[in-house]
Protein backbone atom coordinates (compact mmCIF):
# COMPACT_ATOMS: atom_id res chain seq x y z
CA UNK A 1 0.00 0.00 0.00
CA UNK A 2 2.71 2.44 1.05
CA UNK A 3 4.77 1.54 -1.96
CA UNK A 4 1.83 2.29 -4.23
CA UNK A 5 1.36 5.70 -2.66
CA UNK A 6 5.02 6.57 -3.13
CA UNK A 7 4.83 5.49 -6.77
CA UNK A 8 1.77 7.69 -7.30
CA UNK A 9 3.46 10.71 -5.79
CA UNK A 10 6.54 10.07 -7.90
CA UNK A 11 4.41 9.76 -11.02
CA UNK A 12 2.60 13.00 -10.21
CA UNK A 13 5.86 14.81 -9.56
CA UNK A 14 7.05 13.82 -13.01
CA UNK A 15 3.80 14.65 -14.80
CA UNK A 16 2.76 17.81 -12.92
CA UNK A 17 5.16 20.48 -14.21
CA UNK A 18 4.47 19.70 -17.84
CA UNK A 19 0.74 19.40 -17.24
CA UNK A 20 0.48 22.63 -15.28
CA UNK A 21 2.93 24.64 -17.39
CA UNK A 22 2.66 23.12 -20.84
CA UNK A 23 4.39 26.12 -22.42
CA UNK A 24 5.95 27.45 -19.27
CA UNK A 25 9.49 28.36 -18.42
CA UNK A 26 10.63 24.73 -18.24
CA UNK A 27 9.60 23.94 -21.76
CA UNK A 28 11.09 27.17 -23.07
CA UNK A 29 14.36 26.62 -21.32
CA UNK A 30 14.70 23.21 -22.89
CA UNK A 31 13.55 24.48 -26.27
CA UNK A 32 11.53 21.35 -26.87
CA UNK A 33 8.00 22.33 -25.93
CA UNK A 34 6.56 19.88 -23.43
CA UNK A 35 9.24 17.25 -23.85
CA UNK A 36 11.86 17.23 -21.15
CA UNK A 37 15.40 17.06 -22.48
CA UNK A 38 17.35 13.90 -21.71
CA UNK A 39 19.76 14.38 -18.81
CA UNK A 40 23.29 15.18 -19.98
CA UNK A 41 25.51 12.11 -20.29
CA UNK A 42 27.88 11.61 -17.36
CA UNK A 43 31.30 13.19 -17.89
CA UNK A 44 34.45 11.17 -18.51
CA UNK A 45 36.37 10.13 -15.43
CA UNK A 46 39.57 8.21 -14.86
CA UNK A 47 39.93 5.34 -12.36
CA UNK A 48 43.02 3.48 -11.26
CA UNK A 49 42.68 -0.26 -11.82
CA UNK A 50 46.18 -1.29 -10.73
CA UNK A 51 49.56 0.42 -10.52
CA UNK A 52 50.17 1.75 -14.04
CA UNK A 53 46.72 0.70 -15.30
CA UNK A 54 43.77 3.09 -15.52
CA UNK A 55 40.35 3.03 -17.11
CA UNK A 56 38.56 6.09 -18.51
CA UNK A 57 34.78 5.70 -18.24
CA UNK A 58 31.94 7.51 -20.10
CA UNK A 59 32.07 9.43 -23.38
CA UNK A 60 31.60 6.12 -25.22
CA UNK A 61 33.07 2.71 -24.39
CA UNK A 62 35.71 2.37 -21.70
CA UNK A 63 39.31 3.17 -22.57
CA UNK A 64 42.28 1.55 -20.84
CA UNK A 65 45.51 3.46 -20.21
CA UNK A 66 48.68 1.43 -19.58
CA UNK A 67 51.37 3.79 -18.34
CA UNK A 68 55.04 2.82 -18.74
CA UNK A 69 58.30 4.72 -18.32
CA UNK A 70 58.48 4.97 -22.11
CA UNK A 71 54.95 6.19 -22.84
CA UNK A 72 51.38 4.96 -22.92
CA UNK A 73 49.58 2.05 -24.52
CA UNK A 74 45.93 3.07 -25.00
CA UNK A 75 43.00 0.76 -25.66
CA UNK A 76 39.96 2.34 -27.39
CA UNK A 77 39.41 5.95 -28.42
CA UNK A 78 35.88 7.01 -27.31
CA UNK A 79 33.02 8.50 -29.34
CA UNK A 80 33.91 10.13 -32.61
CA UNK A 81 34.49 13.87 -32.34
CA UNK A 82 36.96 16.54 -31.24
CA UNK A 83 35.26 17.07 -27.89
CA UNK A 84 35.54 13.39 -26.96
CA UNK A 85 39.13 13.16 -28.17
CA UNK A 86 40.11 16.29 -26.24
CA UNK A 87 38.35 15.03 -23.10
CA UNK A 88 40.14 11.68 -23.36
CA UNK A 89 43.53 13.34 -23.73
CA UNK A 90 42.72 15.62 -20.75
CA UNK A 91 41.76 12.60 -18.61
CA UNK A 92 45.01 10.83 -19.49
CA UNK A 93 46.98 13.98 -18.58
CA UNK A 94 45.58 13.82 -15.04
CA UNK A 95 47.52 10.59 -14.40
CA UNK A 96 50.67 10.96 -16.52
CA UNK A 97 52.53 13.38 -18.76
CA UNK A 98 53.80 10.47 -20.92
CA UNK A 99 52.73 10.52 -24.58
CA UNK A 100 50.52 7.87 -26.23
CA UNK A 101 52.86 5.53 -28.16
CA UNK A 102 50.46 2.77 -29.26
CA UNK A 103 46.70 2.50 -29.62
CA UNK A 104 44.66 -0.69 -29.86
CA UNK A 105 41.01 -0.55 -30.90
CA UNK A 106 38.77 -3.43 -29.82
CA UNK A 107 36.13 -3.16 -32.59
CA UNK A 108 34.54 -1.04 -35.30
CA UNK A 109 31.75 0.72 -33.36
CA UNK A 110 32.27 4.46 -33.19
CA UNK A 111 32.05 4.62 -29.39
CA UNK A 112 35.35 2.68 -29.32
CA UNK A 113 36.87 3.36 -32.75
CA UNK A 114 35.69 6.98 -33.03
CA UNK A 115 39.01 8.79 -32.82
CA UNK A 116 41.31 6.41 -34.68
CA UNK A 117 41.91 9.24 -37.19
CA UNK A 118 43.25 11.65 -34.55
CA UNK A 119 45.92 9.20 -33.43
CA UNK A 120 46.81 8.18 -36.99
CA UNK A 121 47.25 11.87 -37.85
CA UNK A 122 49.56 12.23 -34.86
CA UNK A 123 51.74 9.41 -36.24
CA UNK A 124 50.79 6.88 -33.54
CA UNK A 125 50.47 3.23 -34.62
CA UNK A 126 46.76 2.36 -34.27
CA UNK A 127 46.46 -1.41 -34.23
CA UNK A 128 43.25 -3.28 -35.01
CA UNK A 129 42.21 -6.67 -36.28
CA UNK A 130 41.98 -6.80 -40.07
CA UNK A 131 38.25 -7.56 -39.65
CA UNK A 132 37.70 -4.05 -38.25
CA UNK A 133 39.21 -2.47 -41.36
CA UNK A 134 37.13 -4.75 -43.55
CA UNK A 135 33.96 -3.77 -41.67
CA UNK A 136 34.71 -0.09 -42.25
CA UNK A 137 34.87 -0.80 -45.98
CA UNK A 138 32.25 -3.47 -46.61
CA UNK A 139 30.40 -4.17 -43.34
CA UNK A 140 27.30 -2.45 -42.01
CA UNK A 141 23.67 -3.35 -42.54
CA UNK A 142 23.77 -2.49 -46.26
CA UNK A 143 27.15 -4.00 -47.09
CA UNK A 144 28.46 -0.52 -47.94
CA UNK A 145 30.67 -0.16 -44.89
CA UNK A 146 30.13 0.55 -41.24
CA UNK A 147 28.15 3.70 -40.56
CA UNK A 148 26.60 5.33 -37.52
CA UNK A 149 24.76 8.65 -37.09
CA UNK A 150 27.96 9.99 -35.50
CA UNK A 151 29.91 9.25 -38.66
CA UNK A 152 32.46 6.70 -39.75
CA UNK A 153 35.74 6.17 -37.93
CA UNK A 154 38.94 6.55 -39.96
CA UNK A 155 40.82 3.37 -40.90
CA UNK A 156 43.69 2.15 -38.69
CA UNK A 157 47.30 2.25 -39.91
CA UNK A 158 48.29 -1.20 -38.57
CA UNK A 159 46.24 -4.40 -38.81
CA UNK A 160 46.87 -8.00 -37.74
CA UNK A 161 45.21 -11.34 -38.37
CA UNK A 162 45.52 -13.59 -35.26
CA UNK A 163 47.68 -11.75 -32.73
CA UNK A 164 50.12 -8.89 -32.34
CA UNK A 165 52.59 -8.19 -29.54
CA UNK A 166 53.89 -4.76 -28.55
CA UNK A 167 56.59 -4.02 -25.96
CA UNK A 168 56.95 -0.60 -24.42
CA UNK A 169 59.17 0.19 -21.44
CA UNK A 170 58.32 -2.27 -18.67
CA UNK A 171 55.04 -3.41 -20.27
CA UNK A 172 53.91 -5.91 -22.86
CA UNK A 173 50.57 -5.86 -24.66
CA UNK A 174 49.26 -8.69 -26.81
CA UNK A 175 46.27 -8.24 -29.10
CA UNK A 176 44.31 -11.40 -29.85
CA UNK A 177 41.55 -12.09 -32.31
CA UNK A 178 39.89 -15.28 -31.08
CA UNK A 179 37.07 -15.27 -33.62
CA UNK A 180 33.61 -13.83 -34.18
CA UNK A 181 31.78 -12.55 -31.12
CA UNK A 182 30.49 -8.97 -30.70
CA UNK A 183 31.70 -8.26 -34.26
CA UNK A 184 33.86 -10.12 -36.76
CA UNK A 185 36.86 -7.89 -36.07
CA UNK A 186 37.10 -7.98 -32.28
CA UNK A 187 40.39 -7.52 -30.47
CA UNK A 188 41.15 -8.58 -26.91
CA UNK A 189 44.13 -6.75 -25.41
CA UNK A 190 46.10 -8.66 -22.78
CA UNK A 191 48.66 -7.11 -20.45
CA UNK A 192 50.40 -10.22 -19.05
CA UNK A 193 52.65 -8.41 -16.55
CA UNK A 194 49.64 -6.58 -15.03
CA UNK A 195 47.31 -9.60 -15.42
CA UNK A 196 44.70 -7.35 -16.98
CA UNK A 197 42.64 -8.08 -20.08
CA UNK A 198 40.57 -5.50 -22.03
CA UNK A 199 37.61 -7.02 -23.82
CA UNK A 200 35.80 -4.15 -25.50
CA UNK A 201 32.16 -5.10 -26.02
CA UNK A 202 32.89 -8.83 -25.84
CA UNK A 203 32.29 -8.15 -22.14
CA UNK A 204 29.79 -5.55 -20.96
CA UNK A 205 28.33 -5.30 -17.48
CA UNK A 206 25.26 -3.29 -18.47
CA UNK A 207 22.04 -5.03 -17.27
CA UNK A 208 20.67 -5.84 -20.75
CA UNK A 209 23.74 -7.88 -21.58
CA UNK A 210 25.94 -8.14 -24.67
CA UNK A 211 24.92 -8.14 -28.34
CA UNK A 212 26.15 -9.72 -31.55
CA UNK A 213 26.44 -7.36 -34.52
CA UNK A 214 25.77 -9.75 -37.42
CA UNK A 215 26.11 -7.21 -40.26
CA UNK A 216 29.63 -6.54 -38.96
CA UNK A 217 30.46 -10.21 -38.49
CA UNK A 218 29.21 -10.90 -34.94
CA UNK A 219 27.92 -14.32 -33.88
CA UNK A 220 25.87 -15.57 -30.93
CA UNK A 221 27.08 -19.15 -31.47
CA UNK A 222 30.79 -18.28 -31.68
CA UNK A 223 30.65 -15.75 -28.82
CA UNK A 224 30.94 -18.25 -25.90
CA UNK A 225 33.81 -20.08 -27.65
CA UNK A 226 35.71 -16.82 -27.97
CA UNK A 227 35.25 -15.98 -24.28
CA UNK A 228 36.38 -19.52 -23.40
CA UNK A 229 39.63 -18.76 -25.26
CA UNK A 230 40.07 -15.54 -23.31
CA UNK A 231 39.60 -17.45 -20.05
CA UNK A 232 42.68 -19.57 -20.85
CA UNK A 233 44.89 -16.48 -20.38
CA UNK A 234 46.48 -15.80 -16.99
CA UNK A 235 44.74 -12.70 -15.61
CA UNK A 236 42.73 -11.57 -12.60
CA UNK A 237 41.17 -8.33 -13.81
CA UNK A 238 38.89 -7.61 -16.77
CA UNK A 239 38.09 -4.17 -18.20
CA UNK A 240 34.57 -4.29 -19.72
CA UNK A 241 33.64 -2.30 -22.83
CA UNK A 242 30.76 -0.73 -20.92
CA UNK A 243 30.26 -0.65 -17.16
CA UNK A 244 32.04 1.61 -14.71
CA UNK A 245 34.17 -0.88 -12.81
CA UNK A 246 36.92 -3.41 -13.44
CA UNK A 247 35.69 -6.98 -13.03
CA UNK A 248 37.22 -10.32 -12.06
CA UNK A 249 38.00 -13.53 -13.90
CA UNK A 250 35.14 -15.18 -11.98
CA UNK A 251 32.76 -12.54 -13.39
CA UNK A 252 33.90 -13.41 -16.90
CA UNK A 253 33.46 -17.13 -16.20
CA UNK A 254 29.85 -16.55 -15.11
CA UNK A 255 29.29 -14.40 -18.19
CA UNK A 256 30.68 -17.09 -20.49
CA UNK A 257 28.24 -19.61 -19.01
CA UNK A 258 25.30 -17.35 -19.83
CA UNK A 259 26.50 -16.97 -23.43
CA UNK A 260 26.93 -20.71 -23.70
CA UNK A 261 23.41 -21.30 -22.32
CA UNK A 262 21.95 -18.94 -24.93
CA UNK A 263 23.92 -20.52 -27.78
CA UNK A 264 22.84 -24.07 -26.83
CA UNK A 265 19.19 -23.12 -26.30
CA UNK A 266 19.13 -21.23 -29.64
CA UNK A 267 20.25 -24.29 -31.57
CA UNK A 268 17.96 -26.61 -29.63
CA UNK A 269 14.91 -24.42 -30.32
CA UNK A 270 15.80 -23.96 -33.98
CA UNK A 271 16.10 -27.75 -34.37
CA UNK A 272 12.59 -28.10 -32.93
CA UNK A 273 11.35 -25.76 -35.64
CA UNK A 274 10.65 -22.77 -33.40
CA UNK A 275 9.59 -19.95 -35.74
CA UNK A 276 11.81 -16.92 -36.18
CA UNK A 277 9.34 -14.51 -34.63
CA UNK A 278 9.16 -16.59 -31.42
CA UNK A 279 12.69 -17.82 -30.90
CA UNK A 280 14.07 -14.88 -28.89
CA UNK A 281 11.10 -14.86 -26.54
CA UNK A 282 11.40 -18.64 -26.03
CA UNK A 283 15.12 -18.44 -25.33
CA UNK A 284 14.36 -15.67 -22.82
CA UNK A 285 11.70 -17.69 -20.97
CA UNK A 286 13.64 -20.97 -21.02
CA UNK A 287 16.97 -19.63 -19.79
CA UNK A 288 16.28 -17.99 -16.40
CA UNK A 289 20.02 -18.13 -15.66
CA UNK A 290 20.67 -15.19 -17.98
CA UNK A 291 19.03 -12.92 -15.39
CA UNK A 292 18.43 -9.37 -16.63
CA UNK A 293 19.87 -9.94 -20.10
CA UNK A 294 17.37 -9.19 -22.85
CA UNK A 295 17.29 -11.45 -25.90
CA UNK A 296 15.79 -8.59 -27.94
CA UNK A 297 19.06 -6.77 -27.23
CA UNK A 298 21.42 -9.73 -27.62
CA UNK A 299 19.83 -10.08 -31.07
CA UNK A 300 18.02 -6.91 -32.13
CA UNK A 301 15.32 -6.76 -34.84
CA UNK A 302 17.74 -5.83 -37.65
CA UNK A 303 19.95 -8.82 -36.83
CA UNK A 304 17.22 -11.42 -36.33
CA UNK A 305 17.29 -12.85 -39.89
CA UNK A 306 21.03 -13.46 -39.76
CA UNK A 307 20.83 -14.95 -36.26
CA UNK A 308 18.02 -17.31 -37.25
CA UNK A 309 19.91 -18.42 -40.33
CA UNK A 310 22.95 -19.16 -38.18
CA UNK A 311 21.13 -21.22 -35.56
CA UNK A 312 19.01 -23.06 -38.13
CA UNK A 313 22.05 -24.22 -40.08
CA UNK A 314 24.21 -24.99 -37.02
CA UNK A 315 25.50 -28.56 -36.76
ZN1 LIG B 1 30.26 -2.29 -29.71
CA of 251 to the centre of ligand 1 (A): 19
CA of 60 to the centre of ligand 1 (A): 10
- What does the pLDDT read at residue 141? 85
CA of 110 to the centre of ligand 1 (A): 8
- What does the pLDDT read at residue 217? 97
- What does the pLDDT read at residue 27? 32
For every residue of the chain, DSSP letters joined together read: -HHHHHHHHHHHHHHHHHHH-TTSHHHHHHTSTTSPPPPPPPPPEEEEEETTEEEEESSSS-EEEEEETTEEEEE---SSSHHHHHHHHHHHHTT--PPEEEEE---SSHHHHTTHHHHHHTT--EEEEHHHHHHHHH-STTSS----TT--PPPPSEEESSEEEEEETTEEEEEE--SSSSSTT--EEEETTTTEEE-GGGSB-STT-----GGGT--TTTHHHHHHHHTTS--SEEE-SBSSS-EEHHHHHHHHHHHHHHHHHHHHHHHTT--HHHHHHHHHHH-GGGTT--HHHHS-GGGHHHHHHHHHT--
pTM for the full model?
0.88
CA of 307 to the centre of ligand 1 (A): 17
- What does the pLDDT read at residue 205? 97
Parse the chain into domains and list their residue ranges: 1-33, 45-248, 263-312
Q: Which class in CATH covers the domain with range 45-248?
A: alpha beta
pLDDT truncated to tens, each residue of the chain (315 aa)?
344 444 444 444 443 333 333 333 333 333 344 567 888 889 999 999 999 999 999 999 999 999 999 999 999 999 999 999 999 999 999 999 999 999 999 999 999 999 999 999 999 999 999 999 999 999 998 889 998 999 999 999 999 999 999 999 999 999 999 999 999 999 999 999 999 999 999 999 999 999 999 999 999 999 999 999 999 999 999 999 999 999 999 999 999 999 999 999 999 999 999 999 999 999 999 999 999 999 999 999 999 999 999 999 998
CA of 107 to the centre of ligand 1 (A): 7
CA of 71 to the centre of ligand 1 (A): 27
- What does the pLDDT read at residue 142? 86
- What does the pLDDT read at residue 35? 61
Amino acid sequence: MQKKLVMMILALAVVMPAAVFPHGPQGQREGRGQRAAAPPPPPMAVKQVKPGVYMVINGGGNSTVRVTDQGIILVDTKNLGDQFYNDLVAQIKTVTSQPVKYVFVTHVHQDHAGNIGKFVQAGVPVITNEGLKKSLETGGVDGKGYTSPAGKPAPPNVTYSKNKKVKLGNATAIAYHFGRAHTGGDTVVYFPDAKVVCLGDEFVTTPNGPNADYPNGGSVLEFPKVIAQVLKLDFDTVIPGHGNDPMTKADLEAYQKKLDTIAKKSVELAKKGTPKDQIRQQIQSQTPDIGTWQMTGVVNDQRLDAFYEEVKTAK
